[in-house]
Amino acid sequence: MNIIINPDFSEFENICKRPSFDQKHLSSGVQTIFDEINRRGDQALIEYTEKYDNVKIKSTVLNLNDEQVEISSALKEAIQVAYQNIKTFHEAQKPLEINVSVMHGINCSQKPIPIQNVGVYIPGGTAPLFSTVLMLCIPAKLAGCKRILLCTPPDKSGNIHPAILYAAQLCGVKEIRLAGGAQAVAAMALGTAEIQKVDKIFGPGNQYVTAAKQLAQNYGVSIDMPAGPSELLVYADSTAISSFVAADLLSQAEHGSDSQVVLIATTEKMVKDIFNEIESQLEVLPRKNIAKEALKNSKFVVITDASKAFDLINHYAPEHLIIASDSPEQYVDLILNAGSVFLGNYCPESAGDYASGTNHTLPTNGWAKNYSGVNMDAFYKKVTFQSITKQGIENLGQTIITMAEGEALQAHANAVKVRLNQK
């Protein structure tokens, strides 16, 4: 274990480095997938499914029926509790229409209008993320999105995990396609015979999915945010509980071998106690080999001064930030950059992943400096309106004319003059 003790500001950049990938190779490979989907449509998509998911399918279309989904009653109940909490929190976020009279005769308004066609990508692979169905489809439904397309990779039998199907049905999703990875994103961005093009793509994924989402923007499709391999930073002061912190770090490490966990603690003893707990807890985890790989990307840092510690935290801009403390509120005003924050010793990051109500689709890789996590605003575009009466144009007209002529745009000025000169 390498412990970094009271690093200088000049070391922050190196500490904040994420696991690196061959971006040139990554971009080239994803562009090839887009080109093939664009050229051969569903046939290319089916071939990529066989290549990457090791399953042959005849069609991407999942025929939905009213059959009872076979999952345990306990899991159904858990999903329903999470559904209600997520719905309650997101319903409170609905944007309001704004209507303002800025001066006599001139009225300006702003109306939130739902994005009509949204695509939701749900990762499958080693961990079928049915929780992400709730996180993305609940706010899409609440916003009033007309069409919600859900893409997720098939399992070895050519189906999807029953819990993903149950969550989708609970959210009222009617359109599901068997497609995963960068190829699913390409299909949603370009459109095929079986997958109609969407206006915006939502959902987390690995580095290939993230690269595909960024490339999708070149094809007239927007995205929620760059959301790649998951990450967690824990700030542990002297009141942190080492076993809790270790469990939190491992919960994130088991996501994937490309995940990253970072610990910043106030004492070297705290770091060593947490590391000993990690080693103890790791051995009983079914996904311990994945977690071990992720831990190779981990950083353990000791910073005695809280202000300096949060300078590093804000520079890192973590996807998830846990404040492991009996008094977490004292640090809240120091937080500038984070996707989602978990306050106190009894607030695990897994609560936000599943059922507390906040959204778990969050910016990674430092994007929390300029992106928010998914929220209700992400499913709307906001259109502005203005109405001007005859008296209003008389009140404002000369201001417009003066500014237009100042920019040498005479036609702009004339559009006002003809109204002012009307007999």
Q: List the catalytic residues.
A: 319-320
Which among 359, 342, 296, 354 has a CA at the least distance from the CA of 127? 354
Q: Where are the alpha helices (DSSP H) in 268-381?
A: 268-282, 288-295, 306-316, 349-354
Cα dihedral sign, 371-372-378-382: negative
Dist CA 396 CA 400 (whole Å): 7
Give the angle subtended at the CA of 32 by the CAs of 294 and 257, to the nearest 5°.
Answer: 5
Buried b (16+ CB within 10 A) or exposed e, 289-322: ebbeebbebbbbbbbeebebbbbbbbbbbbbbbb
The Cα–Cα gap between 214 and 183 comes to 13
Residue carrying the six token digits 């009617």:
174
Contact 201, 224 (CB under 8 A): yes
Query: What's the Cα-to-Cα distance from 25 to each of 183, 211, 376, rounded to whole Å?
Result: 16, 11, 35
Helix axes 288-295, 242-253, angle to 10 degrees: 100
